[in-house]
Amino acid sequence: MLRTTRDARGIVTLTLDRPEAKNALSAALVGELTAALGALAGDNTVRAIVLTGAGNVFCAGADIGEMRAAGAAAPEQNEADSRHFAKMLETLERQPQSTVALVNGAAFGGAIGLIAACDIALAAAGARFSLSEVRLGLVPAMISPYVVRAIGLREARRWCLTGEVMDAATARRIGLVHEVADDVALADATEAILAALLAGAPGAQAEIKRLLRHVTGRSDAGDDALLADTARWIARVRAGAEAREGLTAFLERRTPGWIRDA
C-alpha cells in the first residue's frame, strides 16, 4: 500500500498506493507509513522525503468503513485505533529529514493532516481540499493541532465548521500549501524545492526543525499529551449517534439525517 523509491541524491519518495480506494488511510497503510518514516529517520543518507499519492488523487482521508467499525468497537479498541493515526502524524512532523507533501490531486479529511504535518507543501493547480469530517458527523481531532499551526485558528474555524471544498489557490492563500503549479510545472517546482533543500546542511536542517518547535513553546511531553487527548476525542465522537449516521449514510450513498429539505 506504500511504494518507496529513492534516487541517487538521497531523495526518498513515499507514494500512498491504494488507487482503488483513492489512497484512503486504512489501518494497514497508516502502519506502513509510520514504520517507513521510522526506518528512514535513522538513515543519514536520506536528505529529504516526498509524500504523494498514486494516480490522480493525493488521499481521500481515513478509510470510512474502518472508521465506522472502530466507532462500534469496544472503547479501548476504538481509542487504540485513534492512537495509531495520531502516532503517524507525530512521526511525520518529528521526522529529522525535511519533508515535502506533493499534493497531486484531491486531499480530504485526514489527508489535510498529512499535508500540514509536512515541512513544505506543493499542490497541483487542479487539486481540491476539504476538512470534510463535519459532513460525516465527525471532528478533525487528531489533525487539528497541525492544521491550526499551518493555517491559523481563524481560517481553521471556517473550514472545519463548514467542510467546504477549497481550490488550490485558496489552500495557498490560507497557508495550507506553499506553492501551486499546473501539472507540467509541478515537477519543476518540486525539483526546485528539493534543490534548495539539498543546498542546506542536513544536520542544520534537523536542528532547525527542533529549534522551531522549541521557540514556539512546544515540547515532546506536551505534544504527546495533546495527541493522546485528540485520540480520545475522536474515539468518543465517532462512537456517537451522529457519527454512526454520517458514516453509514456515506457508505450507503444517501443524505445524512441531519440535512432537511428546505
Q: What is the 3-state secondary structure (H, E, C) of 193-262?
A: HHHHHHCCCHHHHHHHHHHHHHHCCCCHHHHHHHHHHHHHHHHHHHCCHHHHHHHHHHHCCCCCCCCCCC
Question: For residue 6, how far is the Cα from the chain centroid?
Answer: 22
Q: What is the mean pLDDT of residues 113-132?
A: 98
- Asked if residue 262 has pLDDT above 70, the reply is no
Domain count within the chain = 1
Is 103 part of a structural domain of the chain? yes
Is 105 part of a structural domain of the chain? yes
pLDDT digits (tens, 9 = 90+) for 154-167: 999 999 999 999 99
Mean pLDDT over each residue of the chain, to the nearest integer? 97
**How much is the pLDDT for 2?**
98
CB 24 within 8 A of CB 52: no
Output the domain CATH number for residue 9: 3.90.226.10
The residue segments making up the domain with residue 39 are 2-184
**How much is the pLDDT for 89?**
98
Is 146 part of a structural domain of the chain? yes
**How much is the pLDDT for 260?**
85
pLDDT digits (tens, 9 = 90+) for 55-96: 999 999 999 999 999 999 999 999 999 999 999 999 999 999
Instruction: Give the list of residues 6+ apart from residue 78 with CB closer than 8 angstroms, or none.
Output: 70, 71, 235, 238, 239
Q: What is the mean pLDDT of residues 235-251?
A: 96
Is 192 part of a structural domain of the chain? no
Is 20 part of a structural domain of the chain? yes
Is 39 part of a structural domain of the chain? yes
- Asked if residue 149 has pLDDT above 90, the reply is yes
Q: What is the mean pLDDT of residues 34-39?
A: 98
Residue 183 banded pLDDT, cuts 50, 70, 90 = confident
**How much is the pLDDT for 22?**
97
Is 246 part of a structural domain of the chain? no
Q: What is the mean pLDDT of residues 33-59?
A: 98
- Asked if residue 175 has pLDDT above 70, the reply is yes
**How much is the pLDDT for 125?**
98
pLDDT digits (tens, 9 = 90+) for 197-221: 999 999 999 999 999 999 999 999 9
Is 72 part of a structural domain of the chain? yes
The Cα–Cα gap between 204 and 68 comes to: 43
